[in-house]
Amino acid sequence: MSPTLAEEGLTIPDAPTEPGEFELSLRATRESGRKLLIAYVTGGLHDEWPDVVRAVADAGADAIEIGIPFSDPVMDGPIIQEASELALRDGASPVTVLDTLRTIDAGVPLAVMTYYNLAFHMGHERFASLMYEAGVRAAILPDLPLEEVGPWATAADPAGIETVMLAAPTAPDERLPRVVARSRGFVYAVGLLGVTGERDALAESSLVIARRLKAITDKPVLVGVGVSNGQQAAEVSQVADGCVIGSALMRRVVEGEGPAGAGAFIADVRAALDAS
């Protein structure tokens, strides 16, 4: 008989008790009474991507998630798949994206969103230190679940990289506190059953998961996946501390709206959040 995951002896190190730089920054912003907005930008997509990063920072994003494109993005819908494919075709790699990132002074905290095999392949320590040197302080690896996070977290924690965990609507009540305890930077609440992408309306499940998380943690809770515009951002942030916007932004970039269009969209979302 095959062993269960627990029987394989995979250990999950406790997260450091002190918040890291990324989380402290989000907490400070939250305490100032402002709803949190994180914008996702695919790294390496066209030469203009550093300008997109600067534009969304200037337009009011409180932090930016840089996507390092991966060949098999299973948690992503059509827009981010396309953005990733285009960036890979342009020659993007973890090294080129992080090298470029060093030259971007966005003025807001940076996280990396990518898939685990890129970290595994490069080696956990090297990947974590390359990220840190590029100014990144948090990592989101959506295909690395709690049970498997040990080897990565053991390298990332001391390197100054806060590993953000995803909390999904499918998690039973006994699982959520364990996910939250291991999450650093913030808790990424998955807003719906599905992959990233724009939706016509905010899913009821995003309010439910935000409520469940807010009831058990003081860490910043941000909802991502399916938050598509300012109105939805404001709606979900009535419960959550804020939200992550990715596909709606990247669609505009893929369609050629450029840094100006990206900045204008994030400014709209910012305004909606500030007015709520």
Partner 1 sequence: MPETLVPACQELEAAFREAWADQSFRDELDGLLADYAGRPSPITECHRLSAELGVRVLLKREDLNHTGSHKINNVLGQALLAKRMGKTRLVAETGAGQHGVASATAAALMGMECKVFMGEVDMERQALNVFRMRLLGAEVVPAMSGSRTLKDAVNEAMRDWVATVENTHYCLGSVMGPHPYPWMVREFHTVIGKESREQCAKLLDNEIPDVVTACVGGGSNAIGIFSGFADTTAELVGVEPAGGAAVGRGVPGVVHGMKSYLMQDEFGQVQEAHSISAGLDYPGVGPEHSHLSSIGRARYEQVTDDEVIAAFQLLSRTEGIIPALEPAHALAWISRDRAKLAGKTVLLNMSGRGDKDVGQMMEILG
- By CB under 8 A, tell whether 244 contacts partner 1: no
- By CB under 8 A, tell whether 265 contacts partner 1: no
Position 177, amino acid: P
- By CB under 8 A, tell whether 136 contacts partner 1: no
- By CB under 8 A, tell whether 9 contacts partner 1: no
Interatomic CA distance for residues 116 and 133, integer angstroms: 19
- Smallest gap from Cβ 1 to partner 1, in A, equals 8
- By CB under 8 A, tell whether 168 contacts partner 1: yes
Residues contacting 23, CB < 8 A, separation 6+:
138, 162, 184, 185, 186, 219, 220
From the list 8, 18, 48, 76, the catalytic residue is 76
- Smallest gap from Cβ 142 to partner 1, in A, equals 6
Answer yes or no: 76 catalytic.
Answer: yes
- By CB under 8 A, tell whether 165 contacts partner 1: yes
Residues contacting 20, CB < 8 A, separation 6+:
137, 138, 160, 162, 184, 185
Answer yes or no: 198 catalytic.
Answer: no
Residues contacting 73, CB < 8 A, separation 6+:
80, 81, 84, 115
Residues in the chain: 276
From the list 14, 23, 58, 65, the catalytic residue is 65
Which of positions 85-124 make contact with partner 1 (CB under 8 A)? 85, 88, 93-95, 116-118, 120-122
Which of positions 69-88 make contact with partner 1 (CB under 8 A)? 70-75, 77, 81, 85, 88
